[in-house]
A and B are shown apart, each in its own frame.
Chain A
């Protein structure tokens, strides 16, 4: 069964450092997403990406965040200057089209110290 893969599974970084979280969406999917889940809380939408540009973003997705599809398979989330409150699980997801089944990766646990 096709799956969304994310790397690394766990990343520890110092406050103020830049991090890049990586995702490989399902190959025939066209829409890509990043979500965040702070420990014990709900999953929150960050950004959607389609046709090589941001389609929608939430209030959480401020100027310190950026997304990129550097090649035909990877989809990345960059946090430029990490803060303690960025500590969370970050999930990548993909869909064939809007408002259909979203497949989630296993997540990257980001710990900012």
Chain B
């Protein structure tokens, strides 16, 4: 099972609020879970990534929470800003799979 399921498909958050995006996977061989940010017409850019040996990782306003038993991970954007408006993709790789398996993406809009 190579799928990574991402929700919600779109999200509107007020400036200063918390944006939360969720992902779930089935392949227990996955051992690397990055989040990418993509602006229109640009390539995906790595935001933050986590491995299964930790349950949480924080970098600035971005936090990944990881639940290995539930096979779920989520991205939290604290103090969301209009400049955070973009499409966010979760992804996973591992277990001999070189390439990343991406979720379908979340279109995030931060309203001023």
Contact = CB atoms under 8 A, between A and B. Distances in A.
Interface stretch (B40-48, B67-75, B76-84): B40-48
Interface string B75-97: 00000000000000101011001
Contacts of B49: 101
B34 to A, nearest CB: 7
Contacts, number: 61
Nearest to A106: B43
A99 B103 CA distance: 17
B102 to A, nearest CB: 4
A101 B50 CA distance: 11
Interface in B24-47: 31-32, 34, 36, 41-46
A100 B89 contact: no
**Interface bin, chain A:** 20 to 34
B32 A43 contact: no
Interface in B89-111: 89, 91, 93-94, 97-105
B43 A105 contact: yes
Nearest to A105: B43
A45 B99 CA distance: 6
Given A42-B89, A43-B89, A56-B97, A101 B46 contact: yes
A55 B98 contact: yes
A103 B46 contact: yes
Contacts of B93: 98-99
Contact of A102 (B41, B97, B100): B100
A91 interface: yes
Interface in A1-57: 4, 31, 33, 35, 41-48, 50, 55-56
A31 B98 contact: yes
Contact of B103 (A35, A42, A102): A42
Interface in A48-104: 48, 50, 55-56, 58, 91, 98-104
Given A4-B43, A44-B102, A102-B34, 4 more contacts: A41-B104, A46-B99, A58-B99, A104-B45
